[in-house]
Structure 1
Amino acid sequence: MTNLVPIGRALISVSDKTGLVDFARALAARRVELISTGGTSLTLRTAGLKVRDVADVTGFPEMMDGRVKTLHPMVHGGLLALRDDDEHLVAMAAHGIEPIDLLVVNLYPFEATVAKGADYDTCIENIDIGGPAMIRAAAKNHKFVTVVTDPEDYATLLDQLAAHDGATGYAYRQRQAQIAYARTAAYDAAVSTWMAGAIGQPAPRRRAFAGTLAQTLRYGENPHQAAAFYLDGSDRPGVATAKQWQGKELSYNNINDTDAAFELVAEFDPAQGPACAIIKHANPCGVARGATLAEAYARAFDCDRTSAFGGIIALNQMLDADTARKITEIFTEVVIAPEATPEAREIFAAKKNLRLLTTGALPDAQAGGLAWRQVAGGFLVQDRDVSAITAADLKVVTKRAPTEQELKDLMFAWKVAKHVKSNAIIYVRDGATVGVGAGQMSRVDSTRIAARKAQDMAEALGLPRPLTQGSVVASDAFFPFADGLISAAEAGATAIIQPGGSMRDAEVIAAADERGLAMVFTGQRHFRH
């Protein structure tokens, strides 16, 4: 097996010219012959470097607006030839093909073009053909050829050359080949995913997803599980795009819970007032609006103070000093907000284990996209749950219609229900959750658990009665029997929002009427598993 292979000849063709000139100078200093194309060649010549055009190597000019320039035996023969195969060497000599030892290529900026909202034809024109072909050829022949696809790897290559007197080692070339194949795979995934959407193909025959490593995590959900965090290239504000101001590295569970918290709080338009969501194990343990952000936090905290300890806090407005002071009164893992004032950051600085993230904006709660989940032997893909309703969409099914305040709380509760694991029951009073039942196998159990937690909080806060008295209730799916509704009524609820659609709707409606409850149907559900 060939180990060290000297670099004598390099083909460089890049769209991203970050660090290009300094890198090429370092190669030239080692007497590496530089071959290049189009804009890359111009950049290097302008910098005073000696460059040979690909057209001089192939004997053909670049043509068809640059579409055809490197797809030629002089290029691919130089990349694919096995240097220890006599027949390959004879063929090279017979056709005047010179070996290419190093390929440096990054691809047309297709992903960035799509992200800018370019039209169909512009996106198509930014699909690279020659680049992926050369990358795959060089990667396949990594026994002899080194391939670099990311500017961040320029330094490691130069380190290799310095360590091995102008040569690269086999293990290094293997690693670079893997990186190269991953890059072309991600590129093709981006193209195929975009095109499926562009032509209205919701379930293409093959579906590919790709990501770029953001960080290797200490472990996964549990210490015995290896894990890593990858970015999908989208610009959706959230934990993936956030700036971390302080605190240790985020864990797998931190990232998962912080995403859940921020997506939930984004349901509440900051122009309509402050809102806070507190998450524990991907479920809300308190969500509230308030006249101030500090009040919103306090009201969310009072829903379930026990579960809030060590939780994740998401805010829909800039974190201020008053709110920061309140948050520091208990242990919190992560706080995420669009922005934070310098005073708030200073207050948090004294809490070394608290992570503060700012995103610059809230995610659009109604923006589409795909969500996927692995199962044995495959994965499930679906649209994001962006369905939203207005008060006008509700159908009053009881004798009594909800009051104006009940209606406001019902709409609030419905937004929260979308983010609670099913079976989900949410009690809300005056724009704050007062009881949350999540992830139970029985809907009536969720109803009872939420009410019991509200009772516990009333006792802890010294209240004469639980805040479920006079509350409203949201159920993420229909009540299959009247027992869940009856339990909610016994807890003091006065109004219900649910999808409807059960075979026993009439029984459930009758139970509501018997107890003087108002109930509305949404006609849609929010299962979350």
Structure 2
Amino acid sequence: MAGPSHDPSLYRPRDVVPIRRALVSVSDKTDLLRLAEALAGAGVEIVSTGSTAQTIRDAGHPVTDVASVTGFPESLDGRVKTLHPGVHAGLLADLRLEDHERQLSELEIAPFELVVVNLYPFVETVASGAEGDVVVEQIDIGGPAMVRASAKNYANVAIVVSPESYPAIIEALGAGGTSLTQRKELAARAFAHTASYDRAVATWFAEGTLVEEDLPGHLTINAERLATLRYGENAHQRAAIYTRAGGHGIAQATQLQGKEMSYNNYVDADAALRAAFDLVKPAVAIIKHANPCGIAIGAPNALDPIASAHLRAHECDPVSAFGGVIAANRTVTMKMAENMRDIFTEVIVAPDFEPAALEVFREKKNLRVLQLPVDWTQEPMDVRLVSGGLLLQDADRFPAEIESLVDSWELMSGERPDDEELENLSFAWKTCRAVKSNAIVLAKNSATVGVGMGQVNRVDSCRLAVERAGDRAAGSVAASDAFFPFADGPQVLIDAGISAIIQPGGSVRDDEVIAAAREAGVTMYFTGERHFYH
């Protein structure tokens, strides 16, 4: 249905609007009293609701209860407060029109020039783990109605939805009022705010009606811009990082020191976390262009396991590690920091850092040091944009314990290795998931010694892994993220002296591949599950 229309010639120009009457109703009371003091000092009538009114009144500032404006008491446990013509006519009256001004006068309703509203903490309530009616009660109705009404009427009303805008409003009080440009900018923020809020509510309802195995019929991603980045993957590309409401990942990490994070820094840091946190024992992953240069766990009986893990990961490919990004799944110690002293590193990310480690890092002023949020978790789903839409899938995860992996494997060639060798195979299989496909990983003593990644055929990945490993290939184990289509790939590994191979199996030529392993006396396991990473 079309809305009302007016002759453009009827509109009277209006730029600066003095603030004489303000409607204030906020859930987030940050800096509320600072604003209230400025409004009261400028002689502005403050109309307010519930706890907001009480907070302002307790501070000694005059305030008018909304019930005295509507002639109707707040009711239904606060569900009905501002949903009344006495409020909304004051918000929606377009005083550029003489007819609107006349109607307000006849109705004895005063207009508002400023509305300060932020909404019930719905997102925070969901993030706290609350469910059912507790969440429902945090769905704001009157708030969004006031915000949208005021934003629509930006020609006459300034709408503020965040304490961040209070200083500008206080400045406008001293300047004689808000400008049209300022009110339009505030309206844009307000509509973005209510849109984000509604998306969060819609997503919660959609998730609540799904059975566990279903994917959502409607997908909403609620995110706010955290920072504009200098550029994207390349200097000519614009870029920004956005943070999702309720997120606990790399976007929520605290930067303790160093240069501003870049687009590529974020991508590599997230890839490094993915690799390091797949492993249960103290582990370090070194990443370059989203691929591992090295991954390792600490040596057995190491006095400083995380420092040991870093040294062993670095030894895999010291050349490629230059300018890399490092993730540790344990607190970074002073010893690890000292080991990094002469290695050019872009980013180090970890759950925590010893104070002495941070002192060492301060000598490397350009090094970006990121501390993960306390409640950091890996995302349960992966989302990727494609032209015209997006793809959604369950995140690829491993069970934590090695036993749950080994029990599902099928021995196709050779004898069952001892527990140490099985742990080495498990390590290779887990780290292979962090490598871009086609992926081949050579590992020895739970440290990578050669990585072949991103090749368009698996034979080339095998050759690359062997070449990078050099003499270390002999006696190592190999993992492949997907089946070998021919026996030529395994033959490259066998000729290099590897002792065992782990792969998903499933090729029409599996018999040829198994035969090559048996002829060489090499152990081969099938996992029955691949781990592509594109």
Q: TM-score range by the shorter chain?
A: over 0.9
Partner in structure 1 of residue 266 of structure 2: 255
Instruction: Select which of 176, 191, 196 maps to 2:201.
Output: 191
| 1:410 is the counterpart of 2:453 | no
Matches within 5 A, 1:152-171: 152-162=164-174, 164-165=175-176, 167-171=177-181
| 1:14-64 deviations in Å (ceiling 9; x for gaps) | 111111111111111111111111111111111111111111111221111
Find out whether 1:470 has 2:475 as its counterpart: yes
8 Å contact from structure 1 (residues 425, 474) kept in 2:
yes
Match of 2:362 in 1: 349
Q: What is the number of residues matched between the two proteins?
A: 511
CA-CA distance at 1:406 after TM superposition:
2.4
RMSD between aligned residues:
1.8
The answer to whether residue 484 in structure 2 is matched with residue 479 in structure 1 is yes
Q: Which residue of 2 aligns with 1:54?
A: 66
Is the CA contact (8 Å cut-off) linking 1:400 and 1:513 kept in structure 2?
Answer: no
Cα separation, partners in 2 of 1:179 and 1:47, compared to 1, 3 Å: same
Question: 1:369: how far off?
Answer: 2.8
1:399 positional shift:
4.3
Q: 1:474 Cα deviation (Å)?
A: 1.5
- For 1:415, the aligned partner's letter is K
Q: Secondary structure at the match of 2:524?
A: strand
Query: Offset of 1:361 from its aligned partner?
Result: 4.5
**Are 1:245 and 2:256 an aligned pair?**
yes
Matched, 1:72 2:84: yes
Please say if residues 219 and 227 of structure 1, whose CA atoms lie closer than 8 Å, have aligned partners that are also in contact: yes
Letter in 2 for 1:306: V
Question: Secondary structure, in 3 states, of the residue corresponding to 1:11?
Answer: strand
- Between the aligned partners of 1:362 and 1:191, the Cα distance in structure 2 is 23
Give the counterpart letter for 2:502 in structure 1. Answer: I
CA shift in 2, pair 1:401/1:362, >3 Å: farther
How much has 1:215 moved relative to structure 2? 1.5
Query: One-letter code of the match for 2:93?
Result: A
Q: Alignment identity in percent?
A: 50
1:408 Cα offset (Å): 0.6
Which segment is superposed worse, 288-297 or 193-202? 193-202
Residue 108, structure 1, aligned to residue 120, structure 2: yes
Q: Deviations over 1:184-205 (max 9, x none)?
A: 1211222222222222264444
Does the 8 A contact of 2:206 with 2:218 survive in 1? no
2:467 aligns with one of 440, 452, 456: 452
Listed as ranges, the gaps of 5+ residues in structure 2 are 1-12
**Residue type at the aligned position of 1:102:** L
Give how far 1:382 is off.
2.1
**Runs of 5+ in structure 1 lacking a partner?**
456-465
Give the structure 1 partner of residue 289 of structure 2: 281
1:304, distance to aligned residue in structure 2 (A):
0.7
User: Where does residue 322 of structure 2 map in the other structure?
Assistant: 309
2:154 partner SS: coil
Q: Measure, in 2, the Cα distance between the counterparts of 1:204 and 1:145.
A: 39
**Residue 5 of structure 2: aligned partner:** none
The answer to whether the Cα contact below 8 Å between 1:266 and 1:363 also exists between their aligned partners in 2 is: no
Partner SS state of residue 473, structure 2: coil
- Deviation string for 1:177-226 (max 9, x for gaps)? 11111111211222222222222264444322121222211111111111
CA contact (8 A) 1:105 1:148 kept: yes
State the SS of the aligned residue for 1:390: helix
Q: Please give the alpha-carbon distance, in whole angstroms, between the structure 2 residues aligned to 1:53 and 1:362.
A: 41
Structure 2 vs 1, CA of residues 350 and 514 (structure 1 numbering), >3 Å: closer, same or farther? same
In structure 2, distance between residues paired with 1:473 and 1:516: 15
C-alpha separation between the residues in 1 aligned to 2:102 and 2:393? 54
User: 1:133 offset after TM fit, Å?
Assistant: 1.5
Inter-partner Cα distance in structure 1 for 2:185 and 2:67:
30
Distance of 2:141 and 2:433 partners within structure 1: 43
Does 2:345 correspond to 1:332? yes
SS, match of residue 227 in structure 2: strand
CA positional deviation for 1:109? 0.7
Instruction: Report the Cα distance in structure 1 between the residues aligned to 2:375 and 2:61, rounded to whole angstroms.
Output: 47
| CA displacement at 1:430 relative to structure 2 | 0.5
Amino acid at match of 2:416: A
Contact 1:423 1:439 survives alignment (8 Å): yes
Rate the CA distance shift 1:195–1:497 in 2: closer, same or farther, 3 A.
farther
Paired position in structure 1 for 2:275: 264
CA separation in 2, counterparts of 1:468 and 1:13? 68
Separation of aligned partners in 2, 1:386 and 1:65: 45
Deviation at residue 387 of structure 1 after TM alignment:
4.3
Q: Give the deviation of 1:101 after TM superposition.
A: 1.2
**Helix, strand or coil for the counterpart of 1:180?**
helix
Is the aligned partner of 1:177 residue 2:187?
yes
- Length-normalised TM-score, structure 1: 0.92
Higher mean alpha-carbon deviation, 202-211 vs 405-414, is at 202-211
